[in-house]
Amino acid sequence: MENQDNASLNRMMSDDVIDLREYWQTINRHKWGIVGFAFLVTLLTILVVFSLRPVYKATATLLIEANSAQVVSIEEVYGIDSGNQEYYLTQFEILKSRKLAEAVMTKLDLVNHPEFNEEPGFSFDWRALLPVDLPGSNEAPSEADIFQGKVDQFLEKVSISPVRKTQLVKVTYESYDAKLAAKVANEIGVAYIEGNLEAKLEVTMQASSWLSERLGHLKDDLRLTQKKLQDYRDSEGIVGEKGGLDIASKELDLVATKLVESRRDRLELEGVYKQIQKIGKRNPRRLELIPAVLQHPLVQTMKESVAQIQLKKSELAKRYGSKHPKMESVNSELNIAYRSLNQQIVSVVNGIENQYRAAVASEKSLEGSLSSTKVGMQDISRKEFKLKELQQDVDTKQALYDTFFTRLSETSATGDLKAANARIVDPAVKPLLPAKPKKKLIVVLAFVVSLMFGVVFAFLLKALDNTIKTASEIETKLGETMLGLLPLLKAKKGVAHPSYNAYIEENQSQFAEAVRTIRTGVVLSALDNPHKVLAVTSTVPGEGKTSTAINMAFSLGQMEKVLLIDADMRRPSLAKALGFGLRSPGLSNLVAGTAKLEECIHHHEGSSIDVITAGLIPPNPLELLSSKRFAKALAVLEEKYDRIVIDTAPAQAVSDALVLSSTVGAMIYVVKADSTSYQQAKAGIKRLKDVNAPLIGVVLNQVNTKKASKYYGGDYGGYYDSYGYTEESKNVA
């Protein structure tokens, strides 16, 4: 379990690291295909490019000025905005217009030029396959249609290229004829200049005619609006610029000011008046306490007189008695002073009342005046609004008339002036070399692109290849221990399976050394408790499990007493591979009880091992392998032999290997290099692990070590070098 976790961790870490060597190995593996494809594409490109007709380009440079020469400023007549980029974009489109192209073709008679009358190449008419004729399919094209088609052909060869941040524009024409290319490029510039002059003259004449006609109507409209304005002034009796509104406004301000002052006075008197009404005129002493009465100058004077008489009375009272004539005279004088004071108080109070009533009356009068002034002002405002409306109409008509009169004068002054807004600053010349095709560039690009495509295709093949090829993939993709690999042997004439006897016949070869390495791994995997019964299986048929089982038995037989059993009773192969009779008794006979053990065991002459073939093919091999008789027979054989090697059926095809897994001590899983997909192998191993099969490792079979060391150097460089076996290694692929 810990080994599996470590393997998973290693796979995750390897996924995060870009292995440039793997990329290089992929390219190196397909290098001849990539180079061959690039060479073939480049050769075809050379043949096509050198068969193409050369095309010449001629370019004329035009200077387009937004501000053309003119007597007076009348840009508005022509619709030119000097600082507007749209003007130049418009001129570029005019240079590419169909009308300009038609003018050039007509002037140079290009309709009859051989370049526009070449015989068309092969073309497939799909309408000929239809069972019925389409409308208009049999109609011959008219001369106008032919001409328009040639115009389209002409426009395809014209290109307009403005020079950035300048007023220059390059006019380029492509042609198979170098002289014609220069001639057409120059003629496009000339036609553009002439067309622009004609358009300007036409616009000027149209503008003059329209301005003259429009000016007469504007003059009549101006006179009519002026008459309406004067008639309204006369009918309403309006004087002044604003119809009397300014006078009425001043009057309204004056009345409003007076009303505010009158209202303030009334409010000041109203408080005193209310106090007087509350006290009443019969109580002068209390009225005297009112501040407005008390502060009156006459009341103050009378109060001082009373105070002096009282002082005089006080001094006489010290000398004389109350009946003394002087005391009586003083008392009489004091009474007269009080009566005068009271009369004066009443008089002041009456004055205050009269002032209050006058203030109220004045306020009401001013309110009436303000209301009447407002009404009059509203009437004047209505007149002023109508007057202003008529005056604006007159001003608008006058301004429009003046503008049109000015434009008419300018247009008339420039009517005979034709100033071009463009000129040819660099005429086109006959090109000496063709512009296209750029043969060298095309060939180089074809080679580079095809080379890149070949590399991409190689990586695509690599991505689609899900087979197991290297030892590292056994651990990264399958998560299993690598016991070893068996190299691919060269096919021998007349020998179907050279690997069956390779260990015996070439005991010092790379193949034999690889078998011994696997044998060592099996022995070292269980030193304390050796795996006495070994089963060899694979994912699908044809992966070499039988040859692996045979050679494992041969190698173990050099050290121990070994028995090789063919438990693949569906497709048995040991009897034929080792030269025994196909009908000789074997495992099926032993388990079924139709033959004795001694009759089923066959000794191999070329080695020291014994073999039990599959025997007759039974109808129920799975039941035989899962029976108690098979387990009992295997137990008996374990007592007689040091090691038993069992060749069983593929784990993914049938369930024989799953059944045998419970009776064997170890299982070896064989994977064919560059053949078995890792998904299939992983599924087969999972089936075995689901039943707790004692899987000890994987053998990678039929590895082309020469090719692998070349393309997977990291995994196979120096693998099983023929150290000491130079002559023998020549027979190994």
One-character DSSP codes across 159-200:
EEEEPTTSSEEEEEEEESSHHHHHHHHHHHHHHHHHHHHHHH
pLDDT at 133: 56
328 compared with 637, residue with greater pLDDT: 637
pLDDT at 82: 45
Give the highest mean pLDDT range of 23-37, 196-210, 585-599.
585-599
Assess whether pLDDT exceeds 50 at residue 718: no
What is the CATH number assigned to the segment(s) 56-120+142-208+418-426?
3.30.1890
pLDDT at 122: 43
pLDDT at 379: 64
Bridge partners of residue 484, in order along the sequence: 699
Q: How confident is the model at residue 74 (pLDDT cuts 50, 70, 90)?
A: very low
- SS3 for 706? helix
Angle at 90 between CA 84 and CA 96, to 5 degrees: 155
d(CA 359, CA 347): 18
103 compared with 409, residue with greater pLDDT: 103
Q: How confident is the model at residue 246 (pLDDT cuts 50, 70, 90)?
A: low
Assess whether pLDDT exceeds 80 at residue 429: yes
pLDDT at 433: 83
One-character DSSP codes across 76-121:
HHHT--TT-HHHHHHHHHHHT-HHHHHHHHHHHTGGGSGGGSPPP-
Both tokens of 38, joined, read 């690039």
| CATH 3.40.50.300 boundaries in the chain | 483-721
Mean pLDDT across 519-547 = 83
Q: How confident is the model at residue 413 (pLDDT cuts 50, 70, 90)?
A: low
Q: How confident is the model at residue 344 (pLDDT cuts 50, 70, 90)?
A: low
Percent pLDDT > 90 in the chain is: 0
DSSP letter at 55 equals B
Assess whether pLDDT exceeds 50 at residue 292: yes
pLDDT at 126: 46
User: Please, what's the b/e burial string for 417-433 (b: 16 or more CB within 10 A of its CB; e: otherwise)?
Assistant: eeeebbebeeebeebee
Report CA-CA distances (Å) from 6 to 12, 600, 669, 698. 10, 46, 21, 17
pLDDT at 709: 57
239 compared with 661, residue with greater pLDDT: 661
Q: How confident is the model at residue 557 (pLDDT cuts 50, 70, 90)?
A: confident
Q: What is the mean pLDDT of the chain?
A: 75
> Which of the following CATH numbers is that of domain 483-721: 3.10.20.740, 3.20.20.70, 3.40.50.300, 1.10.1610.10?
3.40.50.300
Across 49-53, 316-320, 638-642, 701-705, least confident range: 316-320
Assess whether pLDDT exceeds 60 at residue 720: no
Assess whether pLDDT exceeds 50 at residue 639: yes
15 compared with 296, residue with greater pLDDT: 296
Across 93-107, 501-515, 708-722, least confident range: 708-722
Assess whether pLDDT exceeds 50 at residue 70: no
Q: State pLDDT tens for residues 652-682.
A: 878 888 888 888 888 889 888 877 787 888 8
4 compared with 628, residue with greater pLDDT: 628
d(CA 402, CA 218): 10
Q: State pLDDT tens for residues 430-488.
A: 888 887 777 788 888 888 898 888 888 877 877 776 777 777 778 878 878 888 888 87
pLDDT at 357: 73
Q: State pLDDT tens for residues 155-189.
A: 888 888 888 888 888 989 888 888 888 888 888 88
Percent pLDDT > 70 in the chain is: 70
pLDDT at 109: 83
pLDDT at 482: 83
d(CA 261, CA 359): 10
Assess whether pLDDT exceeds 60 at residue 141: yes
Mean pLDDT across 607-612 = 86
CA nearest neighbour of 196 among 80, 109, 108? 80
CA nearest neighbour of 699 among 518, 464, 440, 512? 518
- SS3 for 489? strand
Q: How confident is the model at residue 69 (pLDDT cuts 50, 70, 90)?
A: very low
Characterize the bridge pairing of strands 56-64 and 168-175.
antiparallel
| CATH 3.30.1890 boundaries in the chain | 56-120+142-208+418-426
Q: How confident is the model at residue 638 (pLDDT cuts 50, 70, 90)?
A: confident
d(CA 28, CA 23): 9
